[in-house]
Chain A
Amino acid sequence: MVGYIVNRLLAAIPTLLGVAVITFLLMRAVPGDVVTSLVGLEANVSPERMAELRRLFGLDLPLHVQFGQWLGAVLQGDLGSSLRTGREVAQDLALRFPVTLQLTLMGLFTALLIAVPLGVLAAIRRGGFVDYFASLFAILGLSVPGFFLALLLILLFALALGWLPPAGFVPLAENPGENFRHMILPALSLGLILAGAVTRILRSSMLEVLSRDYIRTARAKGLSERVVIFRHALRNALIPVVTVIGIQFGSLLGGAVIIEQVFSLPGVGRFALEGINLRDYPVVQGTVLFVASAAVLVNLLVDLLYSLIDPRIRYE
């Protein structure tokens, strides 16, 4: 098991290095660098002063030297400092990551809360009303853009009913109740869409499992339908669901970028967007590498989860 984890982590290194190189080159290819964007409209800054600023930020060095310096620092856990605020990128990420993590986890929880009962019921009552409803829900989940769903939820729950705030954020440590109230709509926007994909896969995998011999055996033994469904069928049907969640995690983070923007949440996605708009290289490089590493880790975690759900799966 440990050997497997180490191998998977080693295999991720070239991929993450590739992500780092692409990000580095993309940001450098952007017309206009951070100095131009910092100086902005101030026309009275002399070219000498601009050159001095570029030297200060190390932007005058050859590309491979800049990349080497950045990578060397990353390996020591230093993601550099924002060219704009001077704050350490790792420190800002540590502040913002909990917001994105909370959003993603609440979204995931919402998705499972809706999708597991709906997917199971749809499979049990195949061809019935619940099944049709589940199919409709699933295809809508795959077809509605997250930002539009967010607006619909704001329109209904914030503007029409006035139950929840339309945007904004309160830190969890400051006021847990208010934090929760502010996170409900963002989490619903993210979760309802994921719920579509999970319902769909759970329904079809439940249908497949329910037709297996061991389910017939379980029923023949006289086990109650509840035990057959939840202990025998659902557990086996969950494996593809875990795979889908693992695959969807990347798009969940991608969705979080937009949802954070709509609800003005100070998360990692919004941090990256601000960085891209301001050409703040260290912010963008650090954030993208962080998000890609998180996706790699989640996929590894998903693989390890398989063996928990299905003890026959063992990693050597």
Chain B
Amino acid sequence: MTTTSPNSQLALVVRALLRNRSAVIGGIITLLVLLGALLAPIIAPWDPLKFDPPNRLSGPSPAHWLGTDQYGRDLLSRVLYGARFSLSVAAVSVLAGLLVGGTLGLLAGYFRGWLDLTISRLADILIAYPAILLAIAFLAFLGGGFINLVLAISVVFVGPFIRVARAAVLTVREELYVEAGRAMGASDARIIFRTILPNAAAPLIVEVTLRFAYAVLAEAALSFLGLGIQPPFPALGSMVSEGRAFLSLSPWGSLVPGCAIVLMVLGFNLLGDGLRDALDPRLQKA
């Protein structure tokens, strides 16, 4: 086996990413979205909850760059706060899904036998369950709010993460260096987390970025159905839904948050694709 230090591996991946034009565009979009969301309290021109009835349903103007909604609230400020909420839900959901699903998948792939059978069956059930209905049923049970949204979305992610992690482990568990670790008397935990995990990480990293995009879409869909955070707090999906009633009077209320969702997801998808190409030398050649 040829060994490359983690630093030079990282440099290779970064170089491959920078060569990929769409990945660069995706990276820039993601960075701008992250900055906008993180700095929302500083850069938002208005209080996202402040009513201004005389200015309701207005289009873009110098005072309100992206227009106002049916209560005269500033759409730019609401979108910035909505993106902040959406990104937080996505980040925590993906991490939770990765932690639970990834660990279960690692265990299933490493130990095989009845444990593998049980965990794989659980993954089958979770994947067979209609994802959106699973999330909706969860929210109906738990009610809306940040933590419940995270739970609902991460439950949907557990199944796919189990599959990806298990498959990744299966491809490396028979490698000679794993055998060598075993022969040297390394514990199972050490082999799993120090030897197998770093070598099986690439597909998991790609899955994380693609799931991130999916999480943003899922949060938006659930909020659109009225199952997310309660108004007046801004969530992008519920903003699109609220604007529906005024579509013919002023489409901005739906268009602005909708475009914000598209931009966020587009950024993650482009970056995820680039990362997949950079981490998978086979694809790079193709």
Is B43 in contact with chain A by the CB < 8 A criterion?
A: no
Per-position 1/0 for A115-159, Cβ under 8 A of B:
000000000000000000001000110111111100110110001
Cβ contact of A295, chosen from B128, B225, B240, cutoff 8 A: B128
Question: In the complex, what's the smallest C-beta–C-beta distance from B284 to chain A, in angstroms?
Answer: 13
Per-position 1/0 for A255-272, Cβ under 8 A of B:
101100100000000001
Tell me the B residues contacting A by CB distance below 8 Å. Answer: 22, 121-122, 124-125, 127-134, 136-138, 140-141, 143, 213, 217, 220-221, 224-225, 237, 240-241, 244, 247-248, 251, 254, 258, 261-262, 265-266, 269-270, 273, 286
Q: A258-B132, A272-B136, A295-B128 are in contact. List 17 more A-B contacts (CB 8 A).
A: A15-B121, A15-B128, A23-B137, A27-B141, A139-B269, A139-B273, A142-B265, A143-B262, A147-B240, A148-B261, A151-B244, A151-B247, A151-B258, A257-B133, A273-B136, A276-B133, A288-B130
A276 contacts across to B, CB distance below 8 A = 133, 136-137, 140
Interface size on A, residues (CB 8 A): 50
Assess the A251–B266 pair: CB atoms within 8 A: no
Assess the B247–A148 pair: CB atoms within 8 A: no
Docked complex: A1-58 residues within 8 A CB-CB of B: 14-16, 18-19, 22-23, 26-27, 29-31
Per-position 1/0 for A198-230, Cβ under 8 A of B:
000000100110000000000000000000000
CB contact under 8 A between A295 and B132, given known A147-B221, A277-B140? no
Assess the A258–B221 pair: CB atoms within 8 A: yes
Per-position 1/0 for A278-316, Cβ under 8 A of B:
010000100110011001100000000000000000000
The 3 A-B pairs at the shortest CB distance, nearest first, are namely A18-B125, A254-B132, A148-B258
26 CB-based A-B contacts, threshold 8 Å: A18-B121, A22-B134, A30-B140, A30-B141, A135-B22, A139-B270, A142-B269, A145-B217, A145-B224, A145-B237, A145-B262, A147-B224, A147-B237, A147-B241, A148-B262, A154-B247, A207-B286, A250-B130, A255-B132, A258-B221, A258-B224, A258-B225, A284-B137, A288-B129, A291-B130, A296-B128
Looking at chain A's contact residues, the main secondary structure is helix
B266 contacts across to A, CB distance below 8 A = 139-140, 143
Cβ contact of A292, chosen from B122, B129, B132, B137, cutoff 8 A: B129
Is A190 in contact with chain B by the CB < 8 A criterion?
A: no
CB contact under 8 A between A19 and B132, given known A26-B141, A140-B266? no
Is A241 in contact with chain B by the CB < 8 A criterion?
A: no
Q: Which residue of A lies closest to B127 (CB)?
A: A250
User: Given the complex of chains A and B, what is the CA–CA distance between A154 and B251 in angstroms?
Assistant: 11
A288 contacts across to B, CB distance below 8 A = 129-130, 133, 137
Assess the B121–A14 pair: CB atoms within 8 A: yes
Question: In the complex, what's the smallest C-beta–C-beta distance from A93 to chain B, in angstroms?
Answer: 14
User: Given the complex of chains A and B, what is the CA–CA distance between A203 and B208 in angstroms?
Assistant: 24
User: Given the complex of chains A and B, what is the CA–CA distance between A15 and B120 in angstroms?
Assistant: 11
Assess the B133–A291 pair: CB atoms within 8 A: yes
Is A253 in contact with chain B by the CB < 8 A criterion?
A: yes
CB contact under 8 A between A151 and B240, given known A15-B124, A204-B286? yes
User: Given the complex of chains A and B, what is the CA–CA distance between A26 and B213 in angstroms?
Assistant: 27
Assess the B286–A257 pair: CB atoms within 8 A: no
B251 contacts across to A, CB distance below 8 A = 155
Q: Which residue of A lies closest to B140 (CB)?
A: A276
User: Given the complex of chains A and B, what is the CA–CA distance between A146 and B273 in angstroms?
Assistant: 21
Assess the A257–B128 pair: CB atoms within 8 A: no
Cβ contact of A251, chosen from B121, B131, B225, B237, cutoff 8 A: B131
Q: Which residue of B lies closest to A144 (CB)?
A: B262
B261 contacts across to A, CB distance below 8 A = 145, 148
Per-position 1/0 for A45-80, Cβ under 8 A of B:
000000000000000000000000000000000000
Cβ contact of B125, chosen from A19, A151, A253, A291, cutoff 8 A: A19
Assess the A143–B213 pair: CB atoms within 8 A: yes
CB contact under 8 A between A29 and B141, given known A14-B121, A145-B220, A273-B225? yes
User: Given the complex of chains A and B, what is the CA–CA distance between A208 and B131 in angstroms?
Assistant: 32
A16 contacts across to B, CB distance below 8 A = 128
Assess the B220–A254 pair: CB atoms within 8 A: no
Assess the B128–A292 pair: CB atoms within 8 A: yes
Question: In the complex, what's the smallest C-beta–C-beta distance from B80 to chain A, in angstroms?
Answer: 18
